[in-house]
Structure formats: C-alpha cells, structure tokens
Structure 1
Amino acid sequence: MNRTLEHILPKVQKPARYTGGEYNAVVKEKCSVTTRFALCFPDTYEIGMSNLGCRILYGVMNQRPDVWCERCYAPWGDMEEEMRREGLLLYGLESGDPIADFHIIGFSLGYEMAYSNVLNMLDLAGLPLRSADRKGLTPLVVAGGTCCYNPEPLAPFIDFFVLGEGEEVTLEYIDLYQRAQEEGWSKEELLQEAARIPGIYVPSLYEVTYHEDGRVAAITPKEGAPATVTKRIIQDMDKAYFPVKTIIPSTEIVHDRVMLELFRGCIRGCRFCQAGYAYRPVRSRSPELLARYGKEACEDSGYQEMTLSSLSSTDYPCLLQLCDDLLDYCAPRDIGLSLPSLRADTFSMNLMERLQRVRKGGLTFAPEAGTQRLRDAINKNLREEDLLQSCRTAFSGGWSGVKLYFMLGLPTETDEDVLGIADLARKVYFTWRECTPNKARGVRITVSTSWFVPKPHTAFQWEAQIPVEEYQRRVDLLRDALKRDKSITYNWHDPQTSYLEAIFSRGDRRLADVLEWAWEHGAKFDAWSEYFDYQRWMDALSACGLDGDFYAHRVREKDELFPWAVPSVGVSREFLWRERELCYQSVTTPDCRSRCSACGANKMLTGGRTCG
C-alpha cells in the first residue's frame, strides 16, 4: 500500500472503502496488459459496489488478458480533504496507481445529482475538466448509463458517451483505442472513428445553436457523424456475461447479496418510466441458467441472501419454476430469496407460498397514483382490486407490513387523485384487519411520494414539472388526510433535489457552465443531504444567465427540437407523442405480451423474435 495512503487511512471514516484487496478483486501484472481501464462510479463505495452493471463490465473487461479494469469511487469529504492535503491523486483500488495514468477512464451515470462528483473526481485525478483541454489520446474519458440518453449537460467534459448496454460495445471501443495507440492517431482521429461505432455519441462532433428564447434551434453533425445514435442492446441474454464470481466487499454495502438479473426491458409501458422505454425490447434469461448462476454465486460468495432483479420481477414468465428450483437450494441453507420489484396484479398465492419457505422480506408495491382514472392516464394498468387482492394474499399469509409508492405532480393529476392516495392506503389497512390471522402484531403501512420528474425518451418528455409551491401544497393536502391514521406512515421526497433533477434531465449543453460554476463553489455529493446546497445551484444558474424554470416547468411544443435529439432508445417519437395524447384521454395501451404497439423497439431484435 502507498505510504501516503497508510498515513491517511487512520484519520478517515470507513477506511475499508479505500484499501481494495477484496476477495475476487482482479489484480494483473501491468507489463502483461495493453489497456488499463478505470471504471469510475461517482458516488461512495457502498453505492457503487451495489451496482450490478458495474460488476458486469468489470468482469467482461477483465476476462480479456490484454485489459485490466480497476474500480474507483468518489471519496467521502474526509478522505478528499486528506488526499488534497497530502497531494494524493485519485487512484484505482486494485493497484493504487493514479487513474490519470490509465488509458481509459469510464464513468457510470445513473443519477443526475451525481454530475458534480464526475467533475470532482476528474479534478482529484489531476486532469483538466473539459474534453477540449485534454489534448492527448490518454486518458480517454467516456461515460455510460441511463443518464447518457440526455448527455448534453455533461457533453463538454466527456470525450464520448456509450448509449445502451455496454458488454459488447465496450470491447469494441477498447479495440479501437488499441489500434489508435499502435498507429499513432491523434485524439481527434480517434473520436471521428469512434463515432462510426454503433451506440457511441461523440458530442464534440455536433454543433448546437439556439433560438433567442433559449430553445434549441439546430444540432448539426460534423465530419461524418451520424444524425442519430441508437443504443446498443444484447440480443441473447443467455449468452451474455453474468458475474458469478463477483467481488465480496470489505465493508457493508447497500445491496450486499447475490443479484440475479432475470430479464432486461419491461412489457408494461408506464408513460412516466424512462427505464421502461430505455431498456426495451424485453429479453429474458432461461430459468435453468438463472438457477445455476444463483447457486454458483452463493457457493462462491457465501452470501445468505439472493435477489431476483429486473424492472418487474413478477413479469418473468418462468418465475414459479425458477423460485421452486432456487428455494430447494435456499431453504435448507437459510438463504433468503427476495423479489424487490413486485407488481400488485401478479402477486399470487402460489408465489406467496413459495416465498414463505424462507425468511419473509418486506412487501413493496408501486400503484403510483391514487385513483383508477390517473393510473389509466399514466398507463399503469393496475386496478385497485388487484392491489387489495395482493394485500389480502400477503396479510392472510402472515405479512404485517407493506410499502406503497406514489408520485405527486403527474400529468392531469387533481386534488381528487391526491386524496385518493389516502383513501387507497386506508383500504389496505382495512384489508389487513379483515385478513390477518394475528391482529396483536399490528400492521405497518408506509406511504411514500416522490415529485414527478419528466424524463427524456418517455411519453411525458413534453410535460412541465409542477411548481415547487404546488408540489408542497399537494404534500400538505395528503399529509393532513393521513394524520388520523396511526397505522399509516407518510414520507415524501425533498422537492429541491427533484427540481434540479428536472433541470438536468432535460437540459442542454449550456448547463455545463452551471455545473462547473457550482463545482468550483463546492458542489459535490448532491444526492446526499450532508452536502447538498440548493442556494448554491440557484446562484450557479443566475451566474450563468440561465433560468431553471425554463428547463423544469415549461411545456414543450409537439415539434420542438430536444437537446437529446441525437441519442435514440429505439422507440419512435411518433409513438411517444401518441402515448401522451392517450394519457389525456385516460386510455391505456396493452402490455407488450398482449399486443405489440409498434413502438419501434422490436426492430432492434434479429432473427424474427418478438418483444415481450
């Protein structure tokens, strides 16, 4: 270990975040590899180590003998302070070497409030923040993740963005980088060639102009760059890499368990859900392969908990078969099996009986809206009776707690819809009273609401986020309606971070100046209340002459050119607009298994297969 690091670690909280050396971490001889890759997650070790996508990419790259991928996480404030005082540059956990010496630095972007940490990590690495100021081929700074479907606020800082699933395209651009090294290309030559790889968006190859009112006027490709960059997908999930042998953390992390990815995509088509559109089309793994992966991962890791992961786990067509296979293994070993993303209309007695064979976890359902009219408007395709029947099943089986998630500020929402949340929660309570075999235990019903954030590439990308004052009024309305219900706990999301999320999720390239100003004035870890300073961001917007309401609270016209016009998730704009119109009629669209709605994602599949 570096002597400076040895000197620092006794002074900081949770030093195990910064030491590396975990079981299954990959260490290679530097002289034996051609390319070194720093896989950076712009949040703490505990959050980053819980990210399945990063674990997959880590394994995919380290399978290649000529590539060494190391991990790097954002140091907490105490560690950063010591690093800056001692002149210790940000380093890879496996080797302890500065990531500025690596060939490629890749950031995983899953949440807009982590953007300030991207800048902070580049600075801690001793690198210029802006792509134009990093002249050489090395290090190349790239980014991937769901935030890259609107990469514009980070565009000046990143050399190129990877759209979609990274298992294949990552190896393709590593090959290109190795060729560029061998042949002595300039950085500009590399970026021009990278833009030819499907799924790679090079922001410096596009000129953006604006109307006087601030709207985007034109996005003009340069030097042969494509007008549209469509995301990459893995065609056959049974052939996709799965990290059976994964790193076992040295300290507790958020999701410290085996995570089995059942499928990618979602059949449902909720109109607010970016992930539901971005991960289309649906592609599943076989139950036999999943069962084998789960058992092998438990054997290798010693974990006592396994999670079946997807956007909607109970939509997996072979779920009961898979549960039976896994439970035969888990039950005698006291390994917990959990399904975190349950749909209330697919939670059955059969499924409950299987889950009862191991430790009971909590039950979480997301009705999203309090009335049937609004659930139809957002295409949730969930009936009140479905939810209550699922609660009857669970409470009859001995469960004594349920969490219910909703959003406030959805398009067409009225006070009646807000009060409908309280009414629905009470119906869940009375269902418990009717069905529980043990009233003495009591019941815990938790209602949580978030503030709706319109997202790119969804049916609601044209919508305005409601003003903060109106959001707070609706929170107060619901809180007052639930006051007398002692068995119901109400939690609501902080509006200030949701406002900034709305700004950056649909923002343009001019927000890069706001981001840099805020970082220069101390912004970092903005997803954490310990560091978040709302006024600093308001000052940043003012200093750069931009209005946050322009991005967050403005309805877009049907034909407005969006800042995210170049990246494509494979779903047509015409389909999304049609879905928006159906919202205002409270008309639902069937799920993908019932009927193909011609969204466009099906065209990404080869071999005549169908989505769903």
Structure 2
Amino acid sequence: MFFGYTIILGICCGEKEIENMDLLDQILPLVKKPARYAGGEWNAVCKNWGEVDLKVAFAFPDVYEVGMSHLGLQILYGIVNSRPDALMERVFAPWPDMAEKMREHEIPLFALESKRPLRDFDVVAFTLQYELSFSNILYMLDLAGIPLLSASRSEEYPLVIAGGPCAFNPEPIADFIDLFVIGEGEEVINELLDAVAGGKRDKLSRKELLRKAVEIQGVYVPSLYLVHYGEDGAFLRVEPADSSVPARVKKRVVKDFDQVSFPTSPVVPSTEVVHDRMMIEVLRGCTRGCRFCQAGMIYRPVREKERGTVLRQARELVRNTGYDELSLVSLSTSDYTPVQEVVKSLLDEHAAGGVSLSLPSLRADQFSVDLAKEVQRVRRSSLTFAPEAGTQRLRDVINKGVTEEDLLAAAGAAFREGWLAVKLYFMIGLPTETDEDLDGINRLAREVLSLGRKAGVPRGRLKVTVSVSSFVPKAHTAFQWEPQAPFEALKERQAYLSGKVRDRGLTLNYHDAGASFIEAVFARGDRRLGQVLSKAFELGCKFDGWTEYFNLEKWLEAFKSAGLDPAWYAYRSYGYDDALPWDHIDPGISKRYLAREHQRAMEGITTGDCRTGDCPGCGLCGALEIEPVLAGSERDV
C-alpha cells in the first residue's frame, strides 16, 4: 500500500529532489500509522519553493491526529498560503517509534508538504494549547537539529515563534522561543510575516529583526525583557530592557468576525483524527464568567457570525471536503443568538445529503429538546453537560450559572426523547471545596441515572459517564491567586469518588493528579522553569499529555536538579498586590476586575452575563476599543 504514499510524496515535493526520500519510503512501513507522515492530503497546499520568498512551518507539539483536529491550524494555513509571497507547511510531533527511525537514519524533522527539514524554513510557528505539550517543543526542535535555546541560534536557523492560550503566561518557555504572539493569530500574522519578509529583503540580523517585530502590537520578545527576583527567590517583575520596548504587551483581537479569513477548503486528514469533521466557528469569546476558565477571559469579547456567513461557509465546506458531519464550535454554542434558526436551515439544506450536525458545547440551563432533536435529525449521539461542581454552593463560587434543576430537567427530557447516554463533567479541588461537594457529584450522577431508568432506557444500554478533572489555577482568571489542592489531597478525593460512584450504567473517569500538578506548575511558573524543562527533556520527558508517557518521577528529578520546588509554584497563594509572572501580558481584562470576582467567589456571590445583563466592569471594551458583536440583521445568503 505504500506505493500510493510514494506517488503522493513525489507530487508534493515539486521540482527539487528531497534528500532521504528513499529512506523515508523504507521507514514508513515500519512505524505505527504511517499516514501521519505521508502528507498529500486533499486540499493540502504544495507550493514551489523557488517561487516564494517566505517559508513558514506550523508546528503542532502533538501527534497528527490531535493537531489536525485544531481549527487554528487550518485558519492560519489558509491565510498564509493565500499570500503569493509565502507558504505554510505542517509538522507534528512524531510518535516515538518514528522518531527512533529518524534518528537511526539521520533524517531531520520535516514538514509534510515538501518533506523539507524544518531548519530550511524562515519561521517555525508553534501553537501552545496545553502546558504538558511544552516538552514536545524541545523534542521537535531537537529532532529538527535546531538549537533549543533562543540565545544559541545563529542567523542560519529559522525564527521560532509561538502563540495560543498558553502564551498568556509565556515565561516558563521564554528561553526557547524567539517571539510570542499574544492574542488572535489571524489579526497579527500578516503584519508579522511582512516584518520577516522585510527583514530578509533588508538583510537584517536576527536581533535587528526581533527589534523590528516588537513594534507590532501583540508581539512579545523575551530577550528584550529583564526578569528580577528577590533574595528569597520570589518573583519581582519583568521589565523592558530599554524604553523602546513596551512595558506591557497588549493582545490582538479580531474585530469583524464575518470578514476575517476562514478556511472553507481545509486540509482533509488522510487518516482518522480526534475531530474528524467539518468545523465552523460560529462565535468567539464567552462572557458567562466562570471563574476558573482562562478561555472565557482571554478570548473576550463575544463576536458572533451572521447567519448568512455560517450558511455560506457550510455550503463551501460540504462542497470542498466530502465530510458527512458539521460541527458548530465555540466556547458555548448554545449561546449563539440565532442557533435555532441556523441549525434548522443547515439541516434543511444538507440533511438529504447525509450531512449531520453536532453542537459540542450545550449548556444545561439552555438545553432545548427541540434543538437537540433537530441536531440529531440525521444521526444521534450522546449528550454532554458540564455542571462542574456537585452542589449549588460551589457552583455559585465558580459562577457556573447552572442549577441542579437545569441539569435534571435537561437529562430527563433527553432520556424521554430517546437518548441513551449522557456525559457529565466535574472538577475537584476547586477553591472552598468540601466533602459535601464531592458527595454532590455522586448524588447528581445517580439522579441522572435514575432519570434514564424512569424514562424506560434499557438497563444494558443506559450509560452515564462522569469525567472528573482536577482544578488548575490559570493566569488572567479570578482564581489565579488560588493554590492547587495538594497532590495527595487530589488522589484522596479521586479514591473517595471511586468508592462512591459505582452502579450499573455509571462510569467514572478522572485525570492523572500528577499530570495536573505539573500543569499547574507551568501554568503559574516564571522563567526559571526553563532549566527544569531542559532537564526533563534530557531525562526523556515527552508526550506528557499521554498517560503512557507521563512520568512524574522524572519531572521531580528535573526540579531537584534545577534547585526548584514545584510545590512552591502550584501550592502558593498569592495576594492581590503580589507580582505575578504574567503581569506584563495584557489580555484587556483588568486585574481589579479579577480581584473583585475572586472576592465575590469567596462570598458565594454570582456575577451575571453582560450579554443579558449589566456590564460587570471587566474593562475590556475600553482597553481594546471593541465591544461585543451579536448576530443581528439578515444578510443575503
């Protein structure tokens, strides 16, 4: 079957012969899922390297199946490849079996489209979706033969940049990244690439180019900032090296969500991936104000697409991909103003062709049986709700805005209408949590199970899955000052729930407490963690988000080697006046607002959604000169 791969590789490589092509053909049959490395997918863009000046590699620090499910990759891939002077190719973290073969045969990490080594590119752009992917950044740079430390890279190496949600606290990986993009990539990518292209044309040095790039709003260059610590080791501040560098880096925001580029001819994976379907982002941002949720803060304000835009993009996606499922994605799709009419219009137009629809983020307080039935007109799947906490007291603390009555009404209605399975998401270790809150998780799960039985769902087919994650304090949230619950306490709470949540039809899943501990350390960390990350990589840490590869003992050894205590980062309580390692990154949300929300949390007082009530005073509209944009008047479709 690999003759097909060889033909595809030949087509995509263009006129220049790629070194090690014969070796690659020999290796692919020997590794798991060779399609991860073959390229040549439908809608992949293979440009002639001799005809473009600027070469960019989008680097996703996880396997192909995860990275190809990331909508941000497809968005930036489309934008860059629409430029006549630039190309963007893709690269993912090779699974260890492939990496072993590459090292054995001295094949450097390469991009899928041209099979060119990463070090041949002008820019290597990493996306930072998850703190436990940080070790894979070093893993990929090492496989590519690119020096890990930014300070060690000479002019011959590509510019290594990074963006995404984890860039809102960039300090733990600042030593390895030349520049970070803070905010939404669509808004800044062309400005940044123009600067890089101009630097090439003017033959600027690496340092001169970084000096030029820092003038762009939303660009953070760690080497142009100094970090100060106290005698006791406490973080004091990050400050510019000189007055020409901004003291705070303000995020970039897309203002017109209907006009911004969106990929309607995305690359269609050649093997099954995590989210194997068409995706349309119907809105960006969320103002529900969950106090643990970083995405709800950093992606504000809410911007909705008009109905006509969604319907047009759906038509083009169906025509250009061949998928039979369309997902309307956002942080809270049931909040999308015209969701009912858009769902009906989409299914009226596409259901006859076998295209189904999914809404992956329904809220129990907005659950509509009519909407759910409409969505499942073509095929039925399980429903997922996220009450997050087991009691109303704790849901008020985290400002979840979902009541027990909402959840039970939604689950009961779903079972009566023929659904067989419901998934429930909870968190443990939340601030102020007690045993009563844990008991509430068990009680709610059993009540949902009971509703299924009362609705007549056959016992052998009824399924309620309870997924429990551990609270991780994140930068720029109301709980950024809160510590994580100690590792042993999380393990005890997991064991407590395991002993309680037991019944036919009930399934309990929970995240590794050790992995959540390391996630919290890097979520709250400062620049000193770079030496820990380097040591952990030396010890073999990689794919830390995967259970089979995460090794807590190696991480603890890396911390010991660096002379740092991970508990100091994860378990420390901050005061409102304490300096935070991410204070120089400006998400547009005021720190005063977050402190006020933290105080309200401790008092059990909820805060309303500014979409439907009074402005809570987060400060974003004034800081970024932008206001929420809701779908309104009809447009021609």
Instruction: Give the shorter-chain TM-score range.
Output: over 0.9
* Counterpart Cα distance in 2 of 1:609 and 1:164: 16
Where does residue 574 of structure 2 map in the other structure? 556
Query: Mean alpha-carbon deviation: is it higher for 172-181 or for 471-480?
Result: 471-480
User: What does residue range 481-496 of structure 1 map to in structure 2 within 5 Å?
Assistant: 481-483=500-502, 485-496=503-514
Q: Which runs of 5+ in 1 are unaligned?
A: none
2:251 is the counterpart of 1:225? no
Q: Cα offset for 1:438?
A: 4.4
2:610 is the counterpart of 1:592? yes
Match of 1:497 among 515, 518, 528: 515
User: What does residue range 357-436 of structure 1 map to in structure 2 within 5 Å?
Assistant: 357-434=377-454, 436=455
Where does residue 139 of structure 1 map in the other structure? 158
Query: Mean alpha-carbon deviation: is it higher for 295-304 or for 539-548?
Result: 295-304
The answer to whether the 8 A contact 2:543-2:550 is kept is: yes
The answer to whether the 8 A contact 2:460-2:505 is kept is: no
User: Structure 1 counterpart of 2:97, which letter?
Assistant: D
User: What does residue range 70-469 of structure 1 map to in structure 2 within 5 Å?
Assistant: 70-136=89-155, 138-223=157-242, 224-434=244-454, 436-439=455-458, 442-469=461-488
Q: Cα offset for 1:214?
A: 2.2
Change (3 A) 1:63 1:284: same
The answer to whether the 8 A contact 2:589-2:619 is kept is: yes
* Counterpart Cα distance in 2 of 1:547 and 1:603: 40
Runs of 4+ in 1 over 3 A off after TM superposition: 437-442, 604-612
The answer to whether the 8 A contact 1:367-1:406 is kept is: yes
User: Structure 1 counterpart of 2:569, which letter?
Assistant: Y
Q: Which runs of 5+ in 2 are unaligned?
A: 1-8, 10-20, 632-637
The answer to whether the 8 A contact 1:155-1:509 is kept is: yes
* Counterpart Cα distance in 1 of 2:595 and 2:100: 48
- Residues 230-269 of structure 1 deviation map (CA, whole Å, 9 limit, x = unaligned): 1111001000111110111111111110011011001200
Change (3 A) 1:46 1:356: closer
* Counterpart Cα distance in 1 of 2:379 and 2:458: 20
Q: Cα offset for 1:183?
A: 1.4
The answer to whether the 8 A contact 1:235-1:605 is kept is: no
| Other structure's SS at 2:364 match | coil
2:558 is the counterpart of 1:540? yes
Where does residue 528 of structure 2 map in the other structure? 510
- Paired residues, number: 610
* Counterpart Cα distance in 1 of 2:544 and 2:373: 42
The answer to whether the 8 A contact 1:90-1:99 is kept is: yes
TM-score, with normalisation over the residues of structure 2?
0.94
* Counterpart Cα distance in 2 of 1:513 and 1:609: 41
Q: CA RMSD in A?
A: 1.4
| Other structure's SS at 1:71 match | strand
Q: Cα offset for 1:442?
A: 4.1
The answer to whether the 8 A contact 1:119-1:129 is kept is: yes
* Counterpart Cα distance in 2 of 1:606 and 1:456: 22
Where does residue 21 of structure 1 map in the other structure? 40
Q: Cα offset for 1:605?
A: 5.6
| Other structure's SS at 2:55 match | strand
Change (3 A) 1:199 1:607: closer
Identity of aligned residues (%): 50
* Counterpart Cα distance in 1 of 2:460 and 2:627: 54
Where does residue 539 of structure 2 map in the other structure? 521
* Counterpart Cα distance in 2 of 1:522 and 1:396: 51
- Residues 560-598 of structure 1 deviation map (CA, whole Å, 9 limit, x = unaligned): 111111112110000001000001111000012122111
The answer to whether the 8 A contact 1:602-1:611 is kept is: no
- Residues 303-324 of structure 1 deviation map (CA, whole Å, 9 limit, x = unaligned): 0111110001100000001001
* Counterpart Cα distance in 1 of 2:333 and 2:342: 11
Change (3 A) 1:438 1:609: closer
Q: Cα offset for 1:20?
A: 0.8
| Other structure's SS at 2:580 match | coil
Q: Cα offset for 1:607?
A: 6.9
User: Structure 1 counterpart of 2:285, which letter?
Assistant: G
Change (3 A) 1:609 1:588: closer
User: Structure 2 counterpart of 1:512, which letter?
Assistant: G
The answer to whether the 8 A contact 1:235-1:606 is kept is: no
2:494 is the counterpart of 1:475? yes
The answer to whether the 8 A contact 1:137-1:186 is kept is: no
| Other structure's SS at 1:84 match | helix
The answer to whether the 8 A contact 2:621-2:627 is kept is: no
* Counterpart Cα distance in 1 of 2:497 and 2:551: 27
The answer to whether the 8 A contact 1:374-1:417 is kept is: yes
Q: Cα offset for 1:429?
A: 1.9
* Counterpart Cα distance in 2 of 1:127 and 1:554: 35
| Other structure's SS at 1:217 match | strand
Change (3 A) 1:606 1:574: closer
Q: Cα offset for 1:196?
A: 1.0
- Residues 335-372 of structure 1 deviation map (CA, whole Å, 9 limit, x = unaligned): 22111111000011321231232211110000000000
TM-score, with normalisation over the residues of structure 1?
0.97
* Counterpart Cα distance in 2 of 1:266 and 1:137: 42
Where does residue 14 of structure 2 map in the other structure? none
| Other structure's SS at 1:237 match | coil
* Counterpart Cα distance in 2 of 1:393 and 1:266: 26
- Residues 15-69 of structure 1 deviation map (CA, whole Å, 9 limit, x = unaligned): 1111111111101111110100011001101111110001100000000010010
* Counterpart Cα distance in 2 of 1:478 and 1:80: 39
User: Structure 2 counterpart of 1:52, which letter?
Assistant: L
| Other structure's SS at 1:154 match | helix
The answer to whether the 8 A contact 1:400-1:441 is kept is: no
- Residues 410-458 of structure 1 deviation map (CA, whole Å, 9 limit, x = unaligned): 0011111110111111221222233x25446642011111110000000
Query: Mean alpha-carbon deviation: is it higher for 175-184 or for 598-607?
Result: 598-607
Q: Cα offset for 1:400?
A: 1.3
* Counterpart Cα distance in 2 of 1:608 and 1:165: 16
